[in-house]
Amino acid sequence: MPPASLPRHIAIIMDGNGRWAEKRNRPRTLGHQAGLRALRKIVEHCGRLGIVELTVFAFSSENWQRPPQEINRLMELFMRALDKEAAELRENGVQLRFVGDLTRFPAALQESIRQALDRNCQDPKMRLNVAVNYGGRWDLTQAARALAQECVEGRLQPQAIDEGAFEQRLMLADSPPPDLFIRTGGEMRISNFLLWQCAYSELYFSSVLWPDFSPARLDEAIADYSSRERRFGKTGEQARLHAG
């Protein structure tokens, strides 16, 4: 359990891989490879700090609009990363989970994901959620559809639908909401990521491109988070009393 000054759950939009490569006159796919190396370092650092959960935005539902060649290379990179990283994550007590609609991915990638999950860590020190083909609006829509289907089948009464019932149909239903939301790359928007779950997250925007986002940069983000007063709608005095 992390100390009170540390976030339990961190969510990250890993933005800037393509621009990192372009600044070096290299193919964008090399930026994605560099981004994977940066993610490995951040996962290891979160484990050392005692962060319970890390959720990263790897591929959004809007990313299908990118050039086909880049998408194909990304799929290849996912495959190689799964084969290489899954076993190491398990050995280090990290449980891997994928969040999003996986049905659009190639069959071979879906099978690699299934195999990685079958070999998952069963007694984790930390959970790594990888959001792929994910969008916050899709998440809300699929939750609403699930509730509607249960009502049609008579398993749920409409008057029983409240925030708790809705939340239980969302992705990450069994996870604490992210305490700290980080976006790298200089953009200052949440880009359809975890719209419900991040309602009260502390937002931190970094101009650093993702491949250059080091553990030291993460420490800076956490230090900034730790300096904030989280009130959740209460007055400052109420929040301090509750925290005490």
Q: Which of 47, 70, 184 is nearest to 124 (CA)?
A: 47
Q: Report pTM.
A: 0.90
Q: Which two tokens stand for residue 129?
A: 């959620």
Domain regions of the chain by residue span: 9-135+177-243
pLDDT over 90 at 192, yes or no: yes
How does pLDDT run across 41-90, given as a tens digit for each residue? 999 999 999 999 999 998 888 888 888 888 888 888 888 888 788 889 99
Given the residues 17, 25, 63, 224, select the one marked as catalytic: 63
Of the pLDDT bands very low, low, confident and very high (cuts 50, 70, 90), residue 146 is very high
- Answer yes or no: are the C-beta atoms of 205 and 11 closer than 8 Å: no
Does the annotation count 139 as an active-site position?
no
Q: Which residues of 80-95 are buried (b: 16+ CB within 10 A; e: fewer)?
A: ebbeebbeebbeeebb
- Answer yes or no: are the C-beta atoms of 45 and 182 closer than 8 Å: no
The verdict on domain 9-135+177-243 having CATH code 3.40.1180.10 is: yes
How does pLDDT run across 201-244, given as a tens digit for each residue? 999 999 999 999 999 999 999 999 999 987 656 555 655 555 55
Does the annotation count 63 as an active-site position?
yes
